[in-house]
Every structure is written in structure tokens, then in C-alpha cells.
Amino acid sequence: MTAVAGRLDQRVLVLNRLWQPVNIIGLRRALSLLFRERASVIYADEGSHRVYPAAEWVSHSRANPPPESEAIRSPSLALRPPRIILLAAYDKVPRREIRYSRRNVYLRDNHNCQYCGRKFSDEELNLDHVVPRDRGGVTSWENIVTACIRCNAKKANRLPTQAGMTLQRAPQRPKWRMLMSASLTAQEMDLWREFLDVAPSGELPWKA
Ligand SMILES: [Zn+2]
């Protein structure tokens, strides 16, 4: 099946055979897995989640045509885009290293300054070395925290204790599942909530 139009920029949540989230992939790759029978579609129907192998998903799409704006079109079919797929064979949870980056530190800390505890936008935040570089502090998940510009300036080149400041929590390397939940759109959060580690409020559940 070739998708000639549709929302190929949409993302699809991938669950392993045990219904645990293992990845988020593009729609094109999800369709490829589906039609090679490596995965089925999971679709919420009247409160419960049903599993549709490729052929049944095609039938379901024919019986319940998607809105034109969502359809993945081939000459003979308007397919409903899957938003969750279930892998047929894979039952592991991959261990992943989360790349250290400014953006990922902000996500880990939920955009909260780790000194004053308030939430800021990217432009109002900085990365702070808890142990300053000139005292041997390294750039690592365990020594870098999100800080607002004001707290960052106040702390300057000192240890938190010297500046009379306290960290909200000890910085740690984040877990992949947790960070995955942090970068979801509101719609994805809604669709995937019950499969992810997210609190009902949509807030990040920080597990220290
Ligand atoms: Zn602050």
C-alpha cells in the first residue's frame, strides 16, 4: 500500500507485545510495520482497546471512513491513520541513553528553575553547573540543572551552599520513558495517556 497523501507527519506510539511503550515513530514506518504484519493497530472503541491486524484495519477503515483531512489515500482506499501499534514479536523494553542536551535538561526539570522552583520559558532559562567548572564540576546529567537567569546570576561561581541556595532535587540522568512523556503534544497525551508514565494532570511524574 502506498500512501499518496495524508498526515504522514503524525507520530505513532509503539507498544511491545506486553503493551509497554517502547518507541514513538513516524506514520510511514508504522504503516510499513503494519502491512508487513510485524504489528497490529490498537484502536479505542467504546471504552476498550481493540487490536486490528492489517487486513482488519483496512476493513475497519472502509466501514468507518476517516475524515478527509486525516485519510491516508491510496487509489482504492481511505485508510484511518493508526496512532498506536502493537508489535507482534518484540517483548523487551529497550534501554536507551538519553542524549545530554540543553533541551533535554529543561525537559527533565520540567522547565522549573531548580533553585527557586518557578517555571520559565526556554529563553528565560540557563544551564547551571551545580559544582562550578573552575572547582572541577563537569558537564553531566548529575551536575547540570535548569536555572532561571536570576538564580543563575545570584549563584554565580559558587557552590549552592555558599550562595545560600538549595536545589529542589538532586539532578539525575533521566529515564527514557519519563522524558518521552514530556515532549508529547496535548493530542498525543490524550491518546496515549494510559500507556505512558504520566500523571492524570499531564504533569511529569518525576521519579527521583
Ligand atoms: Zn530561579
Q: How far is the CA of 182 from the centre of ligand 1 (A)?
A: 21
Q: How far is the CA of 157 from the centre of ligand 1 (A)?
A: 16
pLDDT of 4: 44
DSSP 100: P
Q: How far is the CA of 165 from the centre of ligand 1 (A)?
A: 10
Per-residue pLDDT of the chain (208 residues; tens, 9 = 90+): 444 444 677 899 999 898 888 888 999 999 999 999 999 999 987 778 899 999 999 999 999 998 888 888 888 889 999 999 999 998 777 666 778 899 889 989 999 999 999 999 999 999 999 999 999 999 999 999 999 999 999 999 999 999 999 999 999 988 776 666 677 888 888 888 888 754 444 444 333 2
pTM score of the predicted model: 0.64
Judged by DSSP in three states, 193 sits in: helix
pLDDT of 200: 44
81: CB partners within 8 A, 6+ apart: 6, 7, 10, 12, 27, 66, 70, 71, 72
Cα–Cα distance, 11 to 83 (Å, whole number): 7
Q: How far is the CA of 101 from the centre of ligand 1 (A)?
A: 20
Q: How far is the CA of 154 from the centre of ligand 1 (A)?
A: 9
Only one residue has cell 500500500, namely 1
Which residues, by Cβ under 5 Å, contact ligand 1, an ion?
113, 115-116, 148, 151
